[in-house]
Amino acid sequence: MITTQTIDKSLPKKEIYQLLLEQITSITSDEEDLVANLSNICSILKYEMNWFWVGFYHVKQNELVLGTFQGPVACTRIKKGKGVCGIAWEKNETVVVPNVDLFEGHIACSSSTKSEIVLPLRNNKNECTGVLDIDSEYLSTFDKEDKVGLELIVNYINQLF
Ligand code: SME
């Protein structure tokens, strides 16, 4: 039986991310199927944190192609250097966008998205192989602590591939 707990959002962000990582580790550690694991990770992040959209894009034939996600339908292909996802891929670094309307080239899959964070997935050669994209309906949702916490989670996710 798989159970998840509801995380107390009044905790310091560092603790919230630690609890999220514990839930993710617990739900994925006995399962070897990548799609099953990435699906549950999207679900944990979206429903614990109440974010608008959480999903993965994977590099395939020099494009980012939509993978597992939770949320409304999204654009399926993104070119290198395009949108927040394409820039995170090109730079191979996390991109935090406090206000998507002020980010030149932002790709609006939904007008509800107001801020977002995109983190690169990396293989063991440190090459970017995809991204984790998280969108919020509120401005300035993600700060340095979210970046640090989510980068720890992505380090764990990288080992699942
Ligand atoms: N906003 C992203 C596109 C993906 S969707 O938000 C799901 C971007 O600018 O790359």
Per residue in 19-58, pLDDT (tens digit) is 999 999 999 999 999 999 999 999 999 999 999 999 999 9
Nearest CA owner, ligand 1 atom 6: 109
* 20 Cα–ligand 1 center, Å: 23
pLDDT for position 2: 61
Query: What is the residue extent of each domain of the chain?
Result: 13-158
Give the CB-side neighbour count of residue 15, counting CA atoms within 13 A: 6
> Hey, what's the torsion of the CAs at 100, 96, 29, 77, to 10 degrees?
50
Instruction: Specify the CATH number for 13-158; select among 3.40.50.620, 3.30.450.40, 3.30.2010.10, 3.40.630.10.
Output: 3.30.450.40
Is 6 in a helix, a strand, or coil? Answer: coil
Query: Beta strands 77-79 and 128-136: pairing type?
Result: unpaired
Report how far residue 133's alpha carbon sits from residue 97's, in angstroms, rounded to the nearest whole number.
11
pLDDT for position 23: 96
Are residues 69 and 55 in contact, defined by beta-carbon separation less than 8 angstroms? yes
Question: Which residues of the chain fall short of a pLDDT of 50?
Answer: none
pLDDT for position 4: 65
Nearest CA owner, ligand 1 atom 2: 107
Nearest CA owner, ligand 1 atom 3: 107
Look up the pTM and report it: 0.96
Q: Which amino acid, 128?
A: C
* 99 Cα–ligand 1 center, Å: 13
Residues ≥6 apart with Cβ < 8 Å to 22: none
Atom of ligand 1 nearest to the CA of 87: 10
pLDDT for position 134: 98
pLDDT for position 24: 97
pLDDT for position 36: 98
* 106 Cα–ligand 1 center, Å: 7
Residues with a CB atom less than 6 Å from ligand 1: 53, 74-75, 78, 83-85, 106-107, 109, 113, 116, 133, 135
What is the 8-class DSSP label of residue 146? H
